Amino acid sequence: MIPGFRPAILVQFAVAALLLTGCPPPASTPDASDTGVVTDSGVTADVPTPGPLFTQCTTNAQCGSGRTCNLEYPGGLCSRACRRDTECGETGWCYRNNCIPQCNPGANDCAPYSGLCFFWDSNMQDKRGCFPGCAEVPAMGQPACAGGRTCDPYSGVCRTSVSMMGAANGDPCMAAADCAGGRCRQEFSDTPNPMTPTGYLDGYCFSVSRRPADAAFARNMPMPRGGCPMGSVIIPFRGEAEGDSVSCWKECRQNSDCRAGYVCNRVNGTDGMPVYSTGGCFPINCRTMGMTCPAGTVCNVRMSGTSTIAVCARDGDAGAGDAGSDASATDSGVDTGVDTGVDTGVDTGVDTGVDSGSAADSDVDASVG
């Protein structure tokens, strides 16, 4: 670890998450008390014993009676249909009538399934489960897609065929349906204050992936891609751990690689030099020295608790912020705002609300480089 680094100009934004379901549940599920089947001759024949849940598989037969092999997960995942959590054992949850493995944040519990740990609110109870998180080039020790399937890096799901539908990460968007990853950070927040500028001018498409180990973040080397699509990178933030769900950002080497109103975040250290040779395109912090908003926009500055939010907004949409604030002022831990993270759900239509808060730019972690 290299202590003492702190980014000079860059801003972290909260990440919205997408949950993915497993295979469709079987038409019917045998009762747990069933031990045999009576044949036409009246003789009771043996049937396969239900196997343990959440083991790897390539066929339903490997999972036993009443189980299905969910090939959307890398390596395959034995699951079963369910109506309640108790049907999924002590290590599973019943999510949309299918059992999924439980997980804990920061524990990398989803590694055996190359999964992402997400939470959702079920009857006022927060639950976390492992959802598919494949990579086109799996990290060492991570399973690859099985059963002849191919990884879709925008959804993290192993599919029989993959075709990109929608805009790439970093492209403009108005709604999640515009994006290949099914996620759009919109230009204006709908919560907690409608029409509050977020700094994401013209919107920003993104996807999510598993966070790689710290060793993947090497000083003076490109930021890791992880399971992100080609042309995307993963930015390290403090408090993250291997296996956590993280955003995929448009890759860049210099500011000119990004759209107007965005900067190439290569994570500057205390010496003012970038830690990595590549970065991700982020909305600018317009209070940072040398950062100016593009034509037709102004610097919108406002307070959120003890944090100062300074983002570019369309001229006339600056709201209560002070558009005339000193753009050369020192960055004092800017919080950019609200990640609308609209989630249409490529597979499930579920918006989990994962990490709905905001984080200051001081959480960008240069120490892993």
In this prediction, residue 173 carries a pLDDT of: 97
Residue 313 has pLDDT above 80, yes or no: yes
Q: Are 180 and 229 in contact (CB under 8 A)?
A: yes
Query: pLDDT-derived band of residue 198, with 50, 70 and 90 as boundaries?
Result: very high
Q: At 257, phi and psi to the nearest 5?
A: -75, -10
Lowest-confidence region among 57-61, 229-233, 312-316: 312-316
- pTM, to two decimals: 0.74
In this prediction, residue 186 carries a pLDDT of: 94
Helix (H) or strand (E) holding 90: none
Residue with tokens 């080609």: 230
In this prediction, residue 177 carries a pLDDT of: 95
Lowest-confidence region among 1-5, 24-28, 215-219: 24-28
Q: Are 148 and 163 in contact (CB under 8 A)?
A: no
Q: How far apart are CA 321 and CA 331, in angstroms?
A: 16
Q: Are 175 and 342 in contact (CB under 8 A)?
A: yes
Q: How far apart are CA 117 and CA 196, in angstroms?
A: 30
Q: At 62, phi and psi to the nearest 5?
A: -70, -15
Residue with tokens 């950002």: 249
Query: pLDDT-derived band of residue 49, with 50, 70 and 90 as boundaries?
Result: low
Question: Per residue in 14-47, pLDDT tens?
Answer: 333 333 333 333 333 333 333 333 334 444 444 4
Residue 104 has pLDDT above 70, yes or no: yes
Question: Per residue in 280-296, pLDDT tens?
Answer: 999 999 998 888 999 99
Residue 210 has pLDDT above 80, yes or no: yes
Residue 148 has pLDDT above 80, yes or no: yes
Q: How many CB atoms lie within 10 A of CB 94?
A: 20
Q: Where are the domains of the chain?
A: 1-17+165-369, 36-132
